[in-house]
Structure 1
């Protein structure tokens, strides 16, 4: 097996990650040694990433993001929303754009999302759930998210099954969310 020769694009990507790592580490007031200790990655590897000489693998990216309290998007793309254009593939239909802009269609958007989720494999659903959970925690905090999850689990158990179609739960969820908002 031969080593691939790095391209200018590879070098630019490595330097982009290097700059994001240095910036995030400095914002937290961490040294390379402290980052190494917190992330479990060797100091020499971190030095290689920060010089652009080496690129972190997926495990290292995950550890670095966790240690630096940084999303992978910021580390890899330099921004939290690298694909924010609503006209991207998969979001081109008028229906998806409508859900992104019209709050009255929120119920229909949730039902459509639930319908699409039914087409996913268990692994895909788990990945989507993890993503949604992370987004919700980032916006509302873990305590609020845990309450909502507990409420949804309670409603699912009241129906006597682990998977309840969202349209069956809509009124119960809205009532629960309304009570939660009143308490907060």
Structure 2
């Protein structure tokens, strides 16, 4: 059992945890968001043209096939690629297995399968709490994800306390 100065967590990732994070990574840039707006714009424009169409449907689709393909590639291509990455990652031991964390004021102990390490709080440049998880960033993109479904309310509050004590206020954003 943990003492007051430690918090032990056993984290088991679910597919949706990794999928949510990978979507964030895939759509975090302004260009990706702009491309999404363009894709939905093309789709809306095609829908409007279809609603105004008085001719045959097969001719409408033939006349607009390039726009339809472009909208599909923009709106389906990237999520499909992200899904493939997520499915591949879920087969790795770090995602498929259980990771044990022991948080203390000085460091974080990690155990993934047979691998063990003690990591300094300084390793993380930013810690972000979302409605579904905590993200411990080691750089602008790579992060360790701690889904909240693995924790009870007391553990979440205790983790927030550790984060506030270990990092300056500019290095974290909590709920």
User: Would you say same fold, with TM above 0.5?
Assistant: no
Q: Which has the larger radius of gyration?
A: 2
Q: More strand per residue: 1 or 2? A: 2
Q: More helix per residue: 1 or 2? A: 1
Higher relative contact order (CA 8 A, sep 6+): 2
| TM-score of Structure 1 vs Structure 2, range by shorter chain | under 0.3
TM-score w.r.t. the length of structure 1 is 0.26
